[in-house]
Structure 1
Amino acid sequence: MNSIDPPTLDAGDTYTTCISRVRDAALKARLAGITDDVRTASADYVDKALENRLHEVPRIANVGGVTTAELEKVYTQRMTGKTAPGRAAYDEIFNSSAKCLLCTQRKVDTLDHHLPKAHYPVLAVTPANLVPACSACNKAKLASAPASADESALHPYFDRIQDDRWLHGLVIEGVPAVVVFRVEAPAFWDAELTNRVQLHFDGLDLGGLYSAEAAEELSSIRFQLINIHRTEGMQAVREELLARGESAAAAQLNGWRAVTYESFAMSDWFCDGGFALV
Structure 2
Amino acid sequence: MWYLNPPSHTARSSFMTCISRIRNKQLQERLKLSEEEVVAAADSYAAAAQQTMLHSLDDSDFNLSLVSKDEMIEVYERRMAKKEAAGRAIYDDLISAPAHGRCPLCGQRIVSTLDHHLPKTLYPALAVDPLNLVPACADCNKLKMNKAPSASAEETLHPYFDNVENDPWLHAEVIEIAPAAVRFYVSPPPQWNDTLLRRVRLHFKTFNLAALYASQAAQELNNIKYILSQILSKNGPDQVREHLCDQAISRRVANINSWQTATYAALSSSTWFCEGGFEE
Please confirm whether the aligned pair reaches a TM-score higher than 0.5, indicating the same fold: yes
Question: Using the alignment, how far apart are the partners of 2:271 and 2:174 within structure 1?
Answer: 10
Q: 1:127 aligns with which of 109, 130, 143?
A: 130
1:186 aligns with 2:182: no
Q: 1:244 aligns with which of 244, 247, 260?
A: 247
In structure 1, the residue matched to 2:55 is: 55
TM-score (norm 2): 0.97
1:259 aligns with 2:262: yes
In structure 1, the residue matched to 2:3 is: 3
Question: Using the alignment, how far apart are the partners of 1:57 and 1:251 within structure 2?
Answer: 37
Q: How does 1:22-171 map to 2 (within 5 A)?
A: 22-60=22-60, 62-97=63-98, 98-171=101-174
Where does the alignment leave 5 or more consecutive residues of structure 1 unmatched?
none
Question: Using the alignment, how far apart are the partners of 1:199 and 1:160 within structure 2?
Answer: 15
Matched to 1:82, the amino acid is K
Question: Using the alignment, how far apart are the partners of 1:62 and 1:159 within structure 2?
Answer: 26
Measured after TM superposition, the shift of residue 57 of structure 1 is 2.1
Aligned residues: 277
Measured after TM superposition, the shift of residue 163 of structure 1 is 0.5
Matched to 2:81, the amino acid is T
Question: Using the alignment, how far apart are the partners of 1:38 and 1:190 within structure 2?
Answer: 33
Measured after TM superposition, the shift of residue 58 of structure 1 is 2.2
Give the stretch that moved more between structures: 120-129 or 63-72.
63-72
Q: Is the 8 A contact 1:42 1:123 kept in 2?
A: yes
CA-based RMSD: 0.9
Measured after TM superposition, the shift of residue 213 of structure 1 is 0.5
Give the stretch that moved more between structures: 94-103 or 22-31.
22-31
* CA separation of 1:62 and 1:46: change in aligned 2, threshold 3 A: closer
TM-score (norm 1): 0.98
Q: Is the 8 A contact 2:182 2:263 kept in 1?
A: yes
Measured after TM superposition, the shift of residue 178 of structure 1 is 0.8
Q: Is the 8 A contact 1:116 1:143 kept in 2?
A: yes
Measured after TM superposition, the shift of residue 62 of structure 1 is 3.6
Q: Deviations over 1:13-49 (max 9, x none)?
A: 1100101111111111111111111111111211111
| Local SS of the residue matching 1:220 | helix
Q: Is the 8 A contact 1:167 1:254 kept in 2?
A: yes
Q: Deviations over 1:65-94 (max 9, x none)?
A: 211111011111100111000001001111
1:200 aligns with 2:198: no
Instruction: State the identity as a percent.
Output: 43
In structure 2, the residue matched to 1:274 is: 277
In structure 1, the residue matched to 2:235 is: 232
Q: Is the 8 A contact 2:63 2:123 kept in 1?
A: no
Question: Using the alignment, how far apart are the partners of 2:168 and 2:147 within structure 1?
Answer: 28
Q: Deviations over 1:217-259 (max 9, x none)?
A: 1111110000000000001000111100111111110100000
Matched to 2:13, the amino acid is D
Matched to 1:48, the amino acid is A
Measured after TM superposition, the shift of residue 152 of structure 1 is 1.2
Question: Using the alignment, how far apart are the partners of 2:23 and 2:55 within structure 1?
Answer: 36
Regions of 4+ moved over 3 Å: none
